[in-house]
């Protein structure tokens, strides 16, 4: 066998090994899902049995929740389970392919942790296996060139899902920055008509989804977490990480302090809204200055040749005609 054949055979064996490992991870995830489903069924059976044995509330004991509250609690619990990372992510290979930075990026991108983590890890494994094989089959390199191209393709397959995830998270964070001034103004308006923090956040999450596309979804998630028993600080922790700067964290800290200690929130929100507008105007001026510098280069490359042709063209044609007349004589 030649060196190229040995190299391809080693890659195929490595691919088979990684596929077996991926199958093991899939089996472990399937078992964990079955276990969680079985536990949920046992809890529902226990609640139903308790409701049959004790249909009327007894003084001194906590009453069972209604069917509507039970369904809401189950929906909130399912939503919390989707946000939690699966158990198979604690393995060695999964930790290497899905680090803490990747988890933070996935939260900022608004992707469910259970499905997103599996897709992210699987795509990394498949791309790390497929791209080197495709590079060797298409380009057919020899010697050290084959090793270099295989390493480049492996690195590209390893980093490509993370680059895509980071791009999506960055786009979503920029959208949060665009929505933040409107969010502060609407929150100040709702507080001005006498609504509480809970009512204001609920209205912003349910009624303003068309203008607050990212923040309304995150507020709805925070409201469900808060209704399921989390504190206000814990429920808004995910929202605080979304902003591309510290403005979103400042708003969340303000809401947490008002919810914890009480007090008026209109005046701080008004001052914060003014500061956001001033900061936005400064950013616009900076962008305009940058665009002016960039347009100078564009004008030099596009308009300057046209100006030279228009202004110096008649002189060039006159010189050419006189030289041709002299040459004809």
What's the mean pLDDT when you consider all of the chain? 76
Q: Is 17 exposed, middle or buried (0-12, 13-18, 19+ CB in 10 A)?
A: exposed
Cut 0.75: pTM above it: no
- HSE, side-chain direction, 13 A CA sphere, residue 277: 9
The predicted-structure confidence for 187-241, as pLDDT tens digits, reads as follows 888 888 888 888 888 888 888 888 888 888 888 888 888 887 788 888 888 888 7
The predicted-structure confidence for 239-274, as pLDDT tens digits, reads as follows 887 776 778 888 888 888 887 877 777 788 888 888
Distance of CA 205 to the CA centre of its chain: 19
Which residues make Cβ contacts (< 8 Å) with residue 227, sequence separation at least 6? Answer: 72, 76
Q: Which of 116, 124, 120, 118 is nearest to 158 (CA)?
A: 124
When mean pLDDT is compared across 68-82, 105-119, 206-220, 261-275, the lowest value belongs to: 68-82
Distance CA 184, CA 273 (A): 6
Higher-confidence residue: 50 or 303? Answer: 303
Which residues make Cβ contacts (< 8 Å) with residue 256, sequence separation at least 6? Answer: 232, 233, 236
Listed ranges 22-26, 56-60, 197-201; the one with the highest mean pLDDT: 197-201
Sign of the CA dihedral with 289 first, then 291, 297, and 298 last: negative
Cβ–Cβ under 8 Å, residues 103 and 90: no
pLDDT band at 163 (very low <50, low <70, confident <90, very high): very high
pLDDT band at 39 (very low <50, low <70, confident <90, very high): low
3-state helix, strand, coil in the chain (%, to 5): 85, 0, 15
Cβ–Cβ under 8 Å, residues 197 and 230: no
The pair phi, psi for residue 212, each rounded to 5°, is -110, 75
Cβ–Cβ under 8 Å, residues 219 and 198: no
DSSP string, 260-306: HH----HHHHHHHHHHHHHHHHHHHHHHHHHHHHHHHHHHHHHHHHH
């Amino acid at each position: 066998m030649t060196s190229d054949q040995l190299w391809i055979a080693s890659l195929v064996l490595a691919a088979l090994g990684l596929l077996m490992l991926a199958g093991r991870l899939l089996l472990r995830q399937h078992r964990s899902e079955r276990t969680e489903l079985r536990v949920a069924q046992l809890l529902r059976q226990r609640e139903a049995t308790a409701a049959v044995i004790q249909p009327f509330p007894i003084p001194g004991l906590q009453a069972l929740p209604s069917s509507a509250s039970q369904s809401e609690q189950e929906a909130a619990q399912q939503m919390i389970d989707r946000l939690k990372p699966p158990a198979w992510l604690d393995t060695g290979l999964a930790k290497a392919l899905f680090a803490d930075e990747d988890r933070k990026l996935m939260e900022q991108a608004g992707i469910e942790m259970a499905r997103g983590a599996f897709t992210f890890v699987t795509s990394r494994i498949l791309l790390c296996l497929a791209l080197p094989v495709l590079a060797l089959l298409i380009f057919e390199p020899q010697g050290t060139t084959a090793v270099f191209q295989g390493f480049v393709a492996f690195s590209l397959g390893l980093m490509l899902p993370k680059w895509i995830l980071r791009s999506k998270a960055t786009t979503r964070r920029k959208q949060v920055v665009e929505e933040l001034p409107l969010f502060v103004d609407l929150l100040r308006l709702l507080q001005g008509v006498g609504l509480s923090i809970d009512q204001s956040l609920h209205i912003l999450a349910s009624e303003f989804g068309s203008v607050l596309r990212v923040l309304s979804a995150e507020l709805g998630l925070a409201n469900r977490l808060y209704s399921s028993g989390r504190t206000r600080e814990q429920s808004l922790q995910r929202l605080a990480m979304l902003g591309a700067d510290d403005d979103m964290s400042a708003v969340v800290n303000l809401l947490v302090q008002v919810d914890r200690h009480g007090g008026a929130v209109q005046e701080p929100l008004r001052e914060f809204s003014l500061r956001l507008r001033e900061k936005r105007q400064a950013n616009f001026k900076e962008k305009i200055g940058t665009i002016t510098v960039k347009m100078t280069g564009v004008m030099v490359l596009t308009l300057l040749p046209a100006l030279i042709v228009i202004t110096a063209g008649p002189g060039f044609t006159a010189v050419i005609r006189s030289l041709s007349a002299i040459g004809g004589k």
